Amino acid sequence: MNSKFCIAIHGGAGTILKSKMTPEKEELYRKSLETALITGYDVLKNNGNAVDAVEQAVIAMEDNPLFNAGKGSVFTNNGDHKMDASIMNGSNLKAGCAASVSNVKNPVALARKIMEKSNHVLLAGKGAEDFAKSEALKFESDKYFFTEFRYKQYQNALKSENVYLDHSVIEDDNSGVDKKFGTVGAVALDNSGNLAAATSTGGMTNVKFGRIGDSPVIGAGTYADNNTCAVSCTGDGEYFLRALTAFDVSALMQYKGLSLEEACKEAVFNKLAALGGSGGLIAVDSAGNISMVFNSEGMYRGYIDMNGKMEIGIFKV
């Protein structure tokens, strides 16, 4: 091994089909994933910590309209954007989560502030936005979050009264809109043996009633513990919430002695799938093993391992 650190990221799981992807689009996704990976990896290479690395990697994706997080967030039924994010530090089990926030440029940065500057774990809505202001975090206008293709996606969803996972292709959808964009997440192991995980999302298109998914919920969408692993999930949030998928991976390692890969497969292929849930996760353990497991058609994903080897994937292999 050349180093003691490594990082993995995802940009959402769903019905991502090669047949629906042009080479140009594929290249764009690959480049975007690569940029986010290198952003996080550079932090680790410069002896930075895992929390900084996952935050920076997620910010790179939040700022990229390709992904359903930050700038590229989808529309709710009301025509606004509600974003969720969380971050967890595996060295002390501290965590911060922001749910249902609007206009905050980088929800993962807000989650980090909640973890480090508040006495709380989860802040939601206007209160979370007020806290973000008190911490001088950057806000953006509604215009910044408006993207034409997401608007079309929303208009289409309104007509059919459906709630869509952002990056899934909807068979009877004639909007001509590309839906293969997703929630983002990162997991990392740093030079000092510390693990961290972060997840950020714009949720699901056309949701109502203040629905919140798994992404800002510790144990469901995000988990990190230096004794086991760091995990970030993506997919149908309702199932991840019920299956507590991120914590499940850690618990399977801790209590049942499974390897990272075994625990991830058990959590996704057996437990999540048994409930009818689809999606995936990325995970890294304290030895630097990396797993990327999904039961959907595809998952935007990538890693740089302890040998400095980079891999990027989109479809099932």
Alpha-helical (H) ranges within the chain are: 23-45, 50-62, 107-117, 125-134, 142-145, 148-160, 237-243, 245-256, 260-265, 273-275
183 included as an active-site residue: yes
Residue 235 DSSP symbol? E
Whichever of 5 and 145 has its CB closer to ligand ASP, that residue is: 145
Question: Binding of ligand ASP at residue 234 (CB under 6 A)?
Answer: yes
Angle at 294 between CA 71 and CA 80, to 5 degrees: 25
Whichever of 40 and 203 has its CB closer to ligand ASP, that residue is: 203
Among 40, 48, 237, 277, binds ligand ASP (CB under 6 A): 237
Question: Which pair of tokens denotes residue 232?
Answer: 């970030």
215 φ, ψ (degrees, to nearest 5): -55, -40
Selected catalytic residue, list 183, 205, 222, 245: 183
Question: Binding of ligand ASP at residue 96 (CB under 6 A)?
Answer: no
Q: Which stretch binds ligand ASP (CB under 6 A): 15-23, 116-124, 198-206, 252-260?
A: 198-206
Question: Binding of ligand ASP at residue 267 (CB under 6 A)?
Answer: no
Residue found by looking up tokens 């994933």 in the block:
33
Contact 99, 121 (CB under 8 A): no
With 0-12 / 13-18 / 19 or more C-beta atoms within 10 angstroms meaning exposed / middle / buried, residue 215 is: buried
Provide the β-strand partners of residue 123. Answer: 98
Whichever of 106 and 201 has its CB closer to ligand ASP, that residue is: 201
Among 123, 165, 253, 258, binds ligand ASP (CB under 6 A): 165
Q: How far is the CB of 31 from ligand ASP (least distance, A)?
A: 21
Binding mask 199-228 for ligand ASP (x = CB under 6 A): --x-xx--------xxx-------------
Provide the β-strand partners of residue 230. Answer: 224, 284
Question: Binding of ligand ASP at residue 182 (CB under 6 A)?
Answer: yes
Contact set with ligand ASP (CB under 6 A) = 12, 68, 165-166, 182-183, 201, 203-204, 213-215, 234-235, 237
Which residues are known to be catalytic? 183
